[in-house]
Amino acid sequence: MKRSVAAVLAVVLAGIVAGLVLILAQREPRLAGSGTVAPAAFIGDVEPGGTTCMTVAAVPGGTARMRALIGTYGAPAARLSAELTAAGRVVASAPATDHRTGITDFVLEPPLRRDVATVRVCIANEGAAKVAVAGAPSANPKLPGTPSFTWYRAGEQSGAALVPKVAQRAGAGRGAGSAWLVLAFVLLVGAGVGALVWVARGVRE
């Protein structure tokens, strides 16, 4: 192989490896499970002293924060609390704190250690002004829409720390084992590196 070709090959491979390392090292807040719906529009108001509730099929284990999109009608902040109940008892709650308009997190105490099925999620407005909650509007204007809630794990995790979970989730999402995603990714990278080396060698047999 010509030196210049080998140099290009080395740069390309190093670039791919560096990119993957950067992604694996990146720390950011991570989802604990699926959000309910996309926050497409503000679907209703919670009056001062009022509460809005919805029942979700499940809240994933590992959830430490509940994210919602709120609007405060120009007020600097809204005082809101949240409560999650299942089978008649409170499983987690977020005490009343000031939340600014936009995307906001309710820090849940205690964090959910395992999946909880059929959870009633309520947000209470403990401030003096009304608050709008975002979600998916109902097709029937007489019915309320579905609020958008997203479940996050505590703190931030790196991509590398997530790899075993990712493999497990991919298996769960297709009713199969967790090794398939890893195998597929290895196959993709293997095909890529093999093709690259083959071209670098002049497509020789």
Partner 1 sequence: MRRLWTTATGRTALACGLVGILVALAWSVIIPPLQVPDEPLHFAYVQELATTATPAGSLDEQPLSSELSAAMSALGFSRTIGNATGRGPWSGLEAHLLRQTVGEHRSASDGGGRTGVSPQPPAYYLLGAVPYLAADAAGGDVLDRLQAVRALSALLAGLAVFFIFLFIAELLPGRRVAAATGALAVAFQPMVGFLGGGVSADNLMSAAAAALFFGLARAFRRGLSLRLALGIGAAIGGGLVSKLTFVGIVPGAVLGLLILIARLPRGERLRLAAAAAGPAVVPLLVYVGLGATVWDHGLNDPGVAARAGGGVAAGHGPTMSGRIAYWLQSYLPRPWFVDDLIPGRVAAYNIWFKSWVGNFGWLDYRFPSWVTGAAIGVWLVLVALVGRAVVVGRAALSRRRAELLVYAVMVLGLTVVIAKPAYEYRLQTGFAFEQLRYLFPLLALYGAVVALAVRGAGRWGREVAVAIVGLAVAHTIFAAVLTIGRYYA
Residues that bind partner 1 (CB under 8 A): 2, 4-5, 8-9, 11-13, 15-16, 19-20, 23, 30-31, 33-38, 58, 60-61, 67, 115, 117, 150, 159, 162, 165-166, 169-176, 180-181, 183-185, 187-196, 198-200, 202-203, 205
d(CA 142, CA 52): 16
Helix (H) or strand (E) holding 58: strand 51-59
Q: Which is nearer to partner 1, 50 or 194 (CB)?
A: 194
How near is the Cβ of 148 to partner 1 at its closest, in Å?
8
How near is the Cβ of 12 to partner 1 at its closest, in Å?
3
DSSP 125: E
Q: Which is nearer to partner 1, 76 or 114 (CB)?
A: 114
Q: Which is nearer to partner 1, 60 or 137 (CB)?
A: 60
Q: Which is nearer to partner 1, 144 or 171 (CB)?
A: 171
Three-point CA angle 129, 135, 139, nearest 5°: 115
Q: Which two tokens stand for residue 98?
A: 């000031």
Can you tell me which residue has the tokens 């509730």?
A: 53
Q: In this structure, are strands 150-152 and 116-125 parallel, antiparallel, or unpaired?
A: unpaired
